[in-house]
Amino acid sequence: MSKRYAGIAWTETGYRVEVLDDAGRQVVGPSGWSGGQVAELIGWLRELGDGQEAPAVVLDSTNGLLDGPMTAAGLEVYRADPWLLPPRPGFGSVTAVQLAEQARTAPGALARVTAEGGTLTGRAEEFFAGVERGEPARAALTAAGGCFDHGRRDDPRVALTFDDGPDPVFTRQVVEILERYGARATFFCVGHHVAALPDEVRRIAAAGHELGNHSWSHPYLPDLTPAELREQLDRTAEELDRVGGAAPTWFRPPYGALTPEVLAALDGYPTTLTMWDVDARDWSRPGPEQIAATVLEGAGPGSVVLMHEGAGDRAQTVQALPSIVEGLLERGLELVTVGELAATPDAA
């Protein structure tokens, strides 16, 4: 059987999928999926294998929402970087056919995305160099109150944050656990999921948690033009306002990719950048015990903890959460939103 490639594009309304064989013939007709149907899309791709290997999935670097769940499900996932692809529309990736064609005609140019390497597999060096170049500007912004990493170290409160949702399965589980302990948290949502799963967003807001902006499609920000970057933020803010009842105050950059160019493009944007001082590294699925240990060893008064409840298999995060909450409460730390933690006078 010939090699087959499933190009997956993102659009304003969801995903478009085109599956080609290595001769460029359509294996099935093009299909469309909503941002809330990722599990169904994965099931469909596996069935296309008909007992054999499922088609290889091809994404671009403006889409960080599918590689996690797809690599976790055992699919072969590739990333086509912008220098390989034709120009994008103002909002959305190149087409599904263009992605599949790129893979079919020059498969060696693609990066194979692994679960361990994450979305940016193969670009880690470039990523770290860019963040390092951005460090002086970021430090200046932090000092000026435009970027928030943690609260005061004498403030016995911690902000848990959950990124990449909402999610059809894990959001409600996280909300239920937090509710059990009377804990509040901040959910940095992606617009693509907000539009597809408005009820989950309302569930978060109704439980008293805070909603933050995490871009629309979870792109690698350095690959976007300044206009594209602002479009990602504006559309997500509008959607959160429409569904959740308030425009977000906080923006967390996907991957924390704050290069000088990204910081310049965000200059004057009316939301505060939000980073973290404790990374649970739950996306690498090291086991619930390890996730809880990482958080409990790293967190203290004023901490902002980075975790994930969407765009992947977050069962380990959910399993770790009760131990994390209990461990922090036992130390006398109160669990609050980012907004509450940052509102402390003289936060530094």
Token digits of residue 73: 């499900």
Nearer to Zn ion, 55 or 166 (CB): 166
Respond yes or no: is residue 150 known to be catalytic. Answer: no
Assign 3-class secondary structure to the chain: CCCEEEEEEEECCEEEEEEEECCCCECCCCEEECCCCHHHHHHHHHHHCCCCCCCEEEEECCCCCCHHHHHHCCCCEEEECHHHCCCCCCCCCCCHHHHHHHHHHCHHHCEEECCCCCCCCCCHHHHHHHHHHHHHHHHHHHHCCCEECCCCCCCCEEEEEEECCCCCCHHHHHHHHHHHCCCCCEEEECHHHHHHCHHHHHHHHHCCCEEEECCCCCCCHHHCCHHHHHHHHHHHHHHHHHHHCCCCCEECCHHHCCCHHHHHHHCCCCCEEECCCEECCHHHCCCHHHHHHHHHHHCCCCCEEEEECCCCCCHHHHHHHHHHHHHHHHCCCEEECHHHHHCCCCCC
CB 200, min distance to Zn ion, A: 16
β-pair partners for 317: none
Minimum CB separation of residue 119 from Zn ion in Å reads 9
Cβ at position 129, least distance to Zn ion in Å = 20
Nearer to Zn ion, 54 or 195 (CB): 195
Least distance CB 65 / Zn ion (angstroms): 9
Q: Which residue, 75 or 275, is less far from Zn ion as judged by CB?
A: 275
Q: Angle CA(167)–CA(198)–CA(99) in degrees, nearest 5? A: 60
- β-partners of residue 14 are 11
Report how far residue 234's alpha carbon sits from residue 271's, in angstroms, rounded to the nearest whole number.
10
Catalytic residue among 67, 155, 163, 164: 163
Nearer to Zn ion, 56 or 306 (CB): 306
Say which of 192, 209, 214, 308 is annotated catalytic: 308
- Binding residues vs Zn ion (CB under 5 A): 163-164, 254
Task: Give the shortest CB-61-to-Zn ion separation in angstroms.
Answer: 14
Nearest-approach distance from CB 137 to Zn ion, in angstroms: 21
Q: Which residue is nearest to Zn ion (CB)?
A: 163
Partner residues linked to 197 by β-bridges: none
- Whichever of 67 and 228 has its CB closer to Zn ion, that residue is 67
Closer CB to Zn ion, 94 or 307, in the complex: 307
- CB nearer to Zn ion: give 14 or 118: 118
CB of 219 to Zn ion, least distance (A): 10
Catalytic, 308? Answer: yes
Which residues are marked as active site? 163, 308
